[in-house]
């Protein structure tokens, strides 16, 4: 591995890591990222073990929406955990977390907590199958719903195919994969095969593999056709939740799902995820008809962090600030690239957008995104890292409540250097 000057301690740690941790990383998503080891994060900043600083636009893949180490969340977690961390039984903070979540979301009456988005997507699918007695579900090209056998699909458009060795191909037999943003196709599929389909599962704004907003009327149209055919609409709001608005994409686009999965931004960086829905569906867990379990579900720290984060989002909403800083960043990065005659394309939301190289114009589907020059962008991401801007090689930029004018200014200086020769 090439040692970048000023990253010698990281290189030594990496040499140790690869001996004991496969690939040196604990998630395959990190395999293509620079092997830097961080020792501190504060606000919008990260510091590596060699003392280099970075303006952070990865936010831990999204959870650090309030910035790193947000004081109110730290205090709440510390105070609560001093009285015990996990009871495997009920405690007041989990009730408060559930009440606040339902209040904030508006459309949901009950929640179950877990630790990861992956597992809560599974709970949503199981519940949808139990409620409808149907097994198939519709999903969309390029939408990510976790790494388990029945949802992990290879990136090429078309029928669901395994993305990993060891993945059971038959676990994907129940998936109907459609291109995103084609309402007629969803309507046709549900009208023809609705009695076999339990749910339509989607990122309500596509953000994992590229930022593509729903076309105007698309979510409302899917909502309507789901209602008409008795198919449940499941929003995977793991990225959009608490980020595109306090009530996530459902609030931002004014369309309520039947079930929704949350994670990442909901607890200031603490590992928490949730499934939310109406009592008529969710009570199937309470009646023992549908199983959902987990030793660490709603543990004290997870519950305390959720309550403190939701409190912050309600009392000091960061949304207007993030929209302003994020929109400036999108515009000014675009201008920097244009002045260097580079075809950098930026698309998405101020709180979460994607950058890549390619022809100008907005992508509407995953197929459009696949035509872009991802390899060239990955090289730029490496250069940004070397200059002190931490971004994902796959193109997403997350903006937190802690990013301000100073971070913006420094980012643009560093990006200008990185763009030279990109």
Distance CA 71, CA 68 (A): 9
Q: Name the catalytic one among 144, 218, 377, 398.
A: 144
Per-residue string for binding with ligand PLP, 271-300, x by CB under 6 A? --x---------------------------
Binding span for ligand PLP by CB under 6 A among 144-152, 162-170, 249-257, 328-336: 144-152
- Residue 239 in contact with ligand PLP, rule: CB under 6 A: yes
Compare residues 304 and 352 and give the one whose CB is closer to ligand PLP: 352
Candidate residues 42, 52, 116, 370; the one interacting with ligand PLP per rule CB under 6 A? 116
Question: Quick one: three-class SS letters along 135-183?
Answer: CEEEEECCCCCCCCCCCCECCCCCCCCECCCCCCHHHHCCEEEECCCCH
Per-residue string for binding with ligand PLP, 119-138, x by CB under 6 A? --x-----------------
Distance CA 210, CA 396 (A): 7
Q: Which residues contact 88 (CB under 8 A, 6 or more apart)?
A: 295
Q: How far is the CB of 121 from ligand PLP (least distance, A)?
A: 6
Distance CA 147, CA 118 (A): 7
Candidate residues 7, 139, 145, 403; the one interacting with ligand PLP per rule CB under 6 A? 145
Is 144 a residue of the active site? yes
For 372-384, b/e burial (b = at least 16 CB within 10 A) is bebeebbebbbbb
Q: What share of the chain is helix, strand, coil (3-state, %, to 5)?
A: 40, 15, 40
Per-residue string for binding with ligand PLP, 194-213, x by CB under 6 A? ---------x----x-----
- Judge whether 319 and 399 are in contact, CB under 8 Å: no
Q: How far is the CB of 210 from ligand PLP (least distance, A)?
A: 12
Question: Restricting to residues 24-83, which ones interact with ligand PLP according to CB under 6 A?
Answer: 61
The CB-nearest residue to ligand PLP is 117
Is 2 a residue of the active site? no
Cross-strand bridge partners of residue 212: 206
Residues at the site binding ligand PLP, with contacts judged by CB under 6 A: 61, 116-118, 121, 144-146, 203, 208, 236, 238-239, 263, 273
Catalytically annotated residues: 144, 236, 264
């Amino acid at each position: 591995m090439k040692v970048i000057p000023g990253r010698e301690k990281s290189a030594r740690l990496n040499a140790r890591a690869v001996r004991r941790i496969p690939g040196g990383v604990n998630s395959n998503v990190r395999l293509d990222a620079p092997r830097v080891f961080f020792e501190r994060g504060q606000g919008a900043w990260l510091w590596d073990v060699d003392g280099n600083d970075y303006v952070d636009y990865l936010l831990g893949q999204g959870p650090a929406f309030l910035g790193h180490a947000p004081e109110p969340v730290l205090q709440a977690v510390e105070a609560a955990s001093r009285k015990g961390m996990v009871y495997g039984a009920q405690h007041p903070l989990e009730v408060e977390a559930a009440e606040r979540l339902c209040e904030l979301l508006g459309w949901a009456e009950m929640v179950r907590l877990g630790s990861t988005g992956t597992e809560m997507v599974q709970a949503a699918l199981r519940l949808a199958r139990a409620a409808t007695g149907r097994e198939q579900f519709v999903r969309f090209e390029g939408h990510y719903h976790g790494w388990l056998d029945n949802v992990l699909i290879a990136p090429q458009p078309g029928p669901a195919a395994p993305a990993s060795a060891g993945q059971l191909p038959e676990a994907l037999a129940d998936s109907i994969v459609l291109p995103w943003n084609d309402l007629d196709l969803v309507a046709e599929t549900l009208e023809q095969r609705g009695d076999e389909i339990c749910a339509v599962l989607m990122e309500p704004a596509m953000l994992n593999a590229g930022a593509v907003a729903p076309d105007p009327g698309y979510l409302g149209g899917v909502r309507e056709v789901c209602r008409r055919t008795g198919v449940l609409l499941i929003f995977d709001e793991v990225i959009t939740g608490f980020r595109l608005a306090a009530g996530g994409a459902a609030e931002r686009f004014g369309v309520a799902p039947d079930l929704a999965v949350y994670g990442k931004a909901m607890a200031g960086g603490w590992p928490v995820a949730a499934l939310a829905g109406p009592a008529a569906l969710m009570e199937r867990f309470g009646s023992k008809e549908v199983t959902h379990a987990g030793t660490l579900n709603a543990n004290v720290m997870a519950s305390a962090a959720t309550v403190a984060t939701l409190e912050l989002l309600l009392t000091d909403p960061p949304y207007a600030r993030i929209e302003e800083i994020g929109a400036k960043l999108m515009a000014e990065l675009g201008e920097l690239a244009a002045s260097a005659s580079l075809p950098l394309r930026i698309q998405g939301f101020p709180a979460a957008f994607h950058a890549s190289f390619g022809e100008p114009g907005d992508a509407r589907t995953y197929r459009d995104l696949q035509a872009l020059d991802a390899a060239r962008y990955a090289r730029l991401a490496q250069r940004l890292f070397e200059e002190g801007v931490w971004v994902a090689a796959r193109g997403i930029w997350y903006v937190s409540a802690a990013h301000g004018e100073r971070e913006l200014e420094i980012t643009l200086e560093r990006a200008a250097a990185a763009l030279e020769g990109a």
